[in-house]
Amino acid sequence: MALLQHVCSIPLVRAVRSRSLSNISISIPSSRAPIVSIPSPSSARVPPVGSRVLLGMSEKELQQLAVDFGQQCYRGKQLHHLLYKTKAKEIEDFSHLPKAFRYDLKEAGWIVGRSPVYRVVTAADGTVKILIKLEDNRLIETVGIPVEDDKGSQRLTACVSSQVGCPLRCSFCATGQGGYSRNLKRHEIIEQVLIIEELFKYRVTNVVFMGMGEPMLNLKAVLEAHRCLNKDVQIGQRMITISTVGVPNTIKKLASHKLQSTLAVSLHAPNQKLRETIVPSAKSYPLNAIMKDCKDYFLETGRRVSFEYALLAGVNDGKEHAVELAELLHGWGLGHHVNLIPFNPIKDSEYRRPYKKAVLAFAAALESRKVTASIRQTRGLDASAACGQLRNEFQKSPLSALDESESESKSQSIVSVG
Q: Please report the domains of the chain, with CATH numbers, ordered by start residue.
A: 39-112 (1.10.150.530), 117-383 (3.20.20.70)
Per the CB < 8 A criterion, the answer to whether 311 and 358 are in contact is yes
Side chain identity at 15, as an amino acid letter?
A
Report the catalytic residues: 141, 387
**Which pTM value belongs to this model?**
0.82
- 8-state DSSP, 109: T
The H-or-E segment that residue 250 falls in is: helix 250-255
* Phi and psi, residue 310, nearest 5°: -80, 125
Residues in contact with 220: Cβ distance below 8 Å, sequence separation at least 6, in sequence order = none
Average pLDDT along the chain, 418 residues, taken 10 residues at a time: 47 38 38 36 47 94 98 97 97 95 97 96 90 93 88 89 90 77 96 97 96 96 98 98 96 97 96 95 95 96 95 96 97 88 80 94 96 81 45 56 49 39
Q: What is the DSSP string of 174-191?
A: HHHHT-EEEEPPHHHHHH
Are the CB atoms for 332 and 326 separated by under 8 Å? Answer: no
pLDDT for the residue 379: 57
Residue 50's pLDDT is: 57
Largest CA-CA distance found in the chain, in angstroms, rounded: 92
The torsion angles phi and psi of 148, rounded to 5 degrees, stand at -110, 125
The predicted pLDDT at position 381 comes to: 47
Q: Which is it for strands 117-122 and 128-133: parallel, antiparallel or unpaired?
A: antiparallel
- The predicted pLDDT at position 344 comes to 80
